[in-house]
Structure 1
Amino acid sequence: MLNQRLLAAAAAGDAEAVRSAVNEGADLETRNAQRQTALLLAAAADHVEVAEILVAAGADPDALDYRHDTPWLVTGVTGSVGMLKALLPARPDMTIRNRYGGVSLIPACERGHVDYVREVLKTGIDVNHVNDLGWTGLLEAVILGDGSGPYQEIVRLLLDGGADPGLADKDGVTALEHARTKGQREIVAILSAA
């Protein structure tokens, strides 16, 4: 019952109830039916204060759920810089891959999370990591992005962070070639200059 209280409070963002459950001895790694821990529930819903309490108590930022997500990996999907910063003291494993074989940087690039990309690049995450589709964060930003301002900024950040513009996808097509095909003129200019 105590463990269920912890999970419900974390999902709801009720920091005081989480603190109480932790102080009463709830299992930080207890899981719901989807194998999600309290920290993963807090990360997915961007309940930063709850995450800070759980991290301070020793919760695992690398606990995998049924979809192969972890609290850390979820930050790339949500784009929450606050959650990223809340989880860093727990020393998350930045090499853990999601169900698509990507690290947290890749979904952030796909979704246009400029501030997250800027912040996660400071952690030393592998900017040239290739996922199961054969795509890097740079390729995702071009292929799945719309070429708008946020994606232009992400491309700049990735290049400044050491992204290799010559890395091609599984078909041998580079980010520059994809940008040309998609008519992303500004991104073509940025990649050409690189």
Structure 2
Amino acid sequence: MNTALLRAVVIAGAAWLGAALTASAQVAPSAAEVAAYTGLHAAAHRGDVARLKAQLAAGAPVDARDAAGRTPLHVATFARQRDAIRALAAAGATLGLLEHDRYDAVTIAAVADDEDTLRLLLSLGASAKLVTSRYDGTALIAAAHLGHDGVVRQLIAAGAPLDHVNNLHWTAAIEAVVLGDGGARHQATLKALLDAGANARLADREGRTPLELARARGFGEMVKLLEAVKR
């Protein structure tokens, strides 16, 4: 395949897949769901710590689930209610549970580019290493796809697997290129991955490396980063 055709194929495929992945990403509780919440879920969404503690003291199950499989911890993470997250964790909430679309609290915060909530979850013992989502990915892959470079650096520091391959046969480095926009945040994301030791030779299902994909998409700064890598 010549370079121009390869570039057209990669760009078209990236646009379609990017839209598909975004459409199927985890979904925050809707207004109707929030209105129907009672008990721990309602208190978690509002960040009502006093009500949370009262419910828990009365025996409410800390990992109760709504119709979408969200626990109060998931709801508090979506709502960025960090005091509620602390209270739930102190009460024994299981930090790594997955909701029905297989997202955990860490991945929810990562996709939302919510560095403060992510930092809190990691400090409480939540794992950056879980396999999440219908794509058998990780929080790191999701954040790399979106160019959330600060989140990526946090996850790397927390031991996220750099070279995990999801069921699309993509790593975080590949997603930063093939689903990114080539801009400053995706460049910073790729640099963070490479600086941490991500394997730049791992290829997609068609055998294309991140360097080949960056060239095909015309991402010159990413090409420079990848050309400088010896692994």
Tell me the TM-score range normalised by the shorter chain: over 0.9
Distance in 1 (alpha carbons) for counterparts of 2:38 and 2:221:
50
Contact 2:106 2:126 in 1 (8 A): no
When residues 193 and 93 of structure 1 are mapped into structure 2, their CA distance, relative to the original with a 3 A threshold, is closer
State which of 170, 173, 177 in structure 1 corresponds to 2:205: 170
23-32 or 125-134: which moved more? 23-32
Identical residues among aligned pairs (%): 35
| One-letter amino acid of the counterpart of residue 114, structure 2 | S
Task: Tell me the amino acid that sits aligned with residue 190 of structure 1.
Answer: L
Q: Distance in 1 between matches of 2:66 and 2:120?
A: 22
The partner residue of 2:217 within 170, 176, 182 is 182
Cα offset, 1:169, TM superposition = 0.5
Task: Give the greater-gyration-radius structure (CA).
Answer: 2
Query: Which residue is 1:52 aligned to?
Result: 86
Secondary structure of the residue aligned to 2:38 is helix
Residues 46-69 of structure 1, C-alpha deviations (whole Å, 9 max, x = no match): 222211111121111111211111
> In structure 2, what is the Cα distance between the partners aligned to 1:19 and 1:116?
30
Partner of 2:156: 121
Matches within 5 A, 1:2-17: 4-17=38-51
Of stretches 115-124 and 16-25 in structure 1, the one that deviates more from structure 2 is 16-25
Q: What is the TM-score normalised by the length of structure 1?
A: 0.92
Greater relative CO, 1 or 2 (CA 8 Å, sep 6+): 2
Task: Determine which of 118, 121, 135 is the counterpart of 1:87.
Answer: 121
Moved more, 80-89 or 48-57: 80-89
Of 125-134 and 40-49, deviating more is 40-49
5+ unaligned residues in a row in structure 2: which ranges? 1-36
Among residues 142, 149, 153, which one is paired with 1:107 in the alignment?
142
**CA RMSD for the aligned pairs?**
1.6
Q: 1:155 aligns with which of 179, 190, 194?
A: 190
Tell me which residue corresponds to 1:19: 53
In structure 1, the residue matched to 2:26 is none
Flag structure 1 segments of 5+ consecutive residues without an equivalent. none
SS at match of 2:118: helix
The answer (yes or no) to whether the contact 2:176–2:190 under 8 Å persists in 1 is: yes
Cα 1:145/1:93, change in 2 over 3 Å: closer
Q: TM-score, normalised by structure 2?
A: 0.78
